[in-house]
Chain A
Amino acid sequence: MDVGIVGWGAYVPRHRIKVEEIAKVWGSDAEAYKKGLMLREKSVPTPDQDTITISVEAARNALRRAKIDPQKIGALYIGSESHPYAVKPSGTVVAEAIGAFPSIHVADFEFACKAGSEGMFVALSLVKAGQVEYAMGIGADTSQGAPGDALEFSAAAGGAAFLFGGKPEEIAAVCEHTYSFTTDTPDFWRREYQFYPRHAGRFTGEPAYFKHVLSCAKRTMEIANLTPKDFQWAVFHQPNGKFPARAATELGFQKSQWEQGWLAPTLGNTYSGASPMGLSAILDVAKPGDRILMVSYGSGAGSDGFVWRVTDQVTKLQPLARHTRAQLEDRPIYLDYGTYAKFRGKIHKVTE
């Protein structure tokens, strides 16, 4: 039985901060960062936005496309490394807000930046197993970088939601293959009670991101018996603009194949939301018959690979919700560093 995406939707916060504005405060070389990271600005959540609010808005966009009764959603999973509560699920709020309760299985997933694709993987597998009629997988984050750390230039906010189903006439993109590549690699972590994550500097590149993304992409294509030229589109986890561009090029993909899903240069790193949001931007414009390769990455470490085949249904669903790139370009509000620090809770007003 074919299982696939019957609705998708993203949410991008409206506020931004430019690399120059952060670099100015810490005396770092903005041009070097912009070139090194291939990133110009990033999204910033307001104090009233978090993983839950972003997930609700993304899920509502997915439902605007799917147009099914939310009561038929039997499972909902949110992958994030910035769940607002330490103990209390994010997914329960989202399930109630979209009217998909109380007959629903809900869980929050964690696996650094891979948590979103993980939720998608499990949601679509449950539909495939016949356990539930529809299931939703969401990847969203509002992650923080420590002030002055390299991560501060990229840590951004956003998310995407995917509703999976098994009725052929409803599927906009069939999942043809999945594959996961996992090892124990300590490249990025955050211990309990610590506010900011730590990373292993340059170690995050070769043995971590590139090893997992490239191995996962190659094996996924091998299993599917496909090569880069069989795909119209490819999207990879994007901790910055540079890593996915290099991974795509090393695998033999042309820029025309990965540019549409390459949101990092103006969005930043949305962690669990990154490759899911890239996929949503691709689905916004994909044509029936197109194939999409998606490879996520989560520190710790692992990559999930997916091969999607777009169907005729896609063109009907595309106009039903706001496109991801349209949201990215819609009236951005630029912040100075002071307001950004306040928004992110790095500074507080004294209370009398």
Chain B
Amino acid sequence: MEGAKNQRFPKIKIREMKDDYLKFELRETDASMANALRRVMLAEVPTIAIDLVEIEVNSTVLNDEFISHRLGLIPLTSDRAMDMRFSRDCDACDGDGQCEYCSVEFHLSVRCDQDQTQDVTSADLQSTDPTVVPVDVAARSSSSGYDASENRGIIIVKLRRGQELRLRAIARKGIGKDHAKWSPAATVTFMYEPEIRINEELMESLSLEEKNSWIESSPTKVFGIDPNTHQVMVVDAEAYTYDEEVIKKAEAMGKPGLVEIEAKEDSFIFTVESTGAVKASQLVINAIDVLKQKLDAVRLSDDTVEADDQFGELGSHMRGG
């Protein structure tokens, strides 16, 4: 098929994979693809978050809006989100709860009857769907090496004697573009892989002292020196922050060209941190799927193509063709 040569076949190497953290290398593609993935992970991979709150009783020190906002920001386990409907697209309900396709209902009812201050936390939220619960609650019940004793839940409000909070909340599917509470990503970053070339000949013209002071000029530990041979080498290329301090230092020492540093244009090192709503690795997979869906949505419709074909014939008539 013609044009297939324009397609790329990127490569991936996963370096570190935990539930909420992922580091991987992406190669043989360009920055537009890396950036599109980053943007989609941050703002367009759907999750579930509380979006509607009906307060029955609130005698706490925080007002209703304040509490609703805090509830919205609690990350919920969202493995279901990719298969759910957006509430605005759902034709099975009117969007205010108890619809299996687009919403999950939560209840919270806490009253303080003691002299000690009482915390209302994410653990007090009662979900009607066991697959959609606050992420810290899910982590507590799983055995994923999480220290449960340190987990007090996410504090929503504190109560003193006689105060009470009772409410019903509806969680819905959404995306970070709409509101940051739906963003599944804590951070997503990528860096260009640096390519560092030391001019060995020029480097050997330096005294040990000069070598050391040149190495020290880098704010991060990129270079090191072999204690026996006194040879300068790259110990951690990725620690380089493109600050160009070593280049300036070399120039100041009268040794321009001592080192050449380039950013490889087709190699990226990604770091993905998830809020826990979905696993970091799943977040990347979902981002790829979402980006594919987006591309599919921007395909030309048949009627656009037809309209243009007619225009084309008309055009060739006018040109006498």
- On whether the two chains bind one another, the answer is no
Residue positions of A touching B, CB distance < 8 A: none
